[in-house]
Amino acid sequence: MSTTSSDTPGQPDLLLFVCDGNLARSPAAELISRHRSAVDGPWRFASCGIRAVRSDRVLREVERRLAVMEVPAGGFHSRQATPAILGEARLILTAGRLQNDWIVDETPFLYRRTYTIRQAARLLRDLPQGGEPLEHLARTKDRLTDDDEVEDPIRKGVAAAGEVVDQIDEALRVILPALGAMTRRAG
């Protein structure tokens, strides 16, 4: 696996998380990944939304669940997905089919870099020992299933937000080690 982006020599590859408003699912994935990964590791993490809502914090219910996990949520700012932002990413992980479709419509050349977070975890569970994770993802990419979706928790309460964060955390426990990004203990 290359540890630097082909666009910016010496800079870690970008793993970009995408949801709708960039308030709950993608920020949770970004913040958990940052918390679990080495500062000078092979990946950097960011998030955006296909219909981003301007905000300087994650959804309160998500923030509460992250606090229980001891994942800091401060310093977050939402941002809109654009072809330029998407094009910087070596890997794009979305909340679901809606975001995947939007990305492929806006930037068709990113099809082989775009997966739902749960789809990527499902595919990477079968990564052969010593296998290259991005090549494995591209080679084994398949149709999305309903289980590959992470539902939007907005306006669904604390329990739904907690369940969503737990689903994202479970997926990242597979994805981050496969990418060589996880260096801190995962609670």
The domain that holds 78 is classified in CATH as: 3.40.50.2300
Domain that holds residue 111: 13-179
Domain for residue 1, yes or no?
A: no
- pLDDT tens-digit series, residues 13-23: 999 999 999 99
Please, are residues 39 and 27 in contact by the beta-carbon 8 Å criterion?
no
94 CB neighbour count, 10 Å cutoff: 32
Burial class (CB within 10 angstroms; exposed 0-12, middle 13-18, buried 19+) of 31: buried
The reply to whether 184 falls in a domain is no
Give residue 7's pLDDT: 54
Tell me what the pLDDT averaged over the chain comes to. Answer: 91
- Residue 160 placed within a domain: yes
Give the number of domains in the chain: 1
Confirm whether 114 is domain-assigned.
yes
Rounded CA Rg of the chain: 15
Note whether residue 7 is domain-resident.
no
Residues of the chain with pLDDT under 50: 1-6, 184-187
Q: Does the residue 79 lie in any domain?
A: yes
Q: Write 127-132 long-range contacts (CB < 8 A, 24+).
A: 127/178, 132/1
Looking at the domain assignment, is residue 130 inside a domain? yes
Tens-digit pLDDT profile for residues 70-80: 999 988 999 99
User: Is residue 187, in this structure, part of any structural domain at all?
Assistant: no
Residue with tokens 């330029």: 84
What's this model's pTM, rounded to 2 decimal places? 0.91
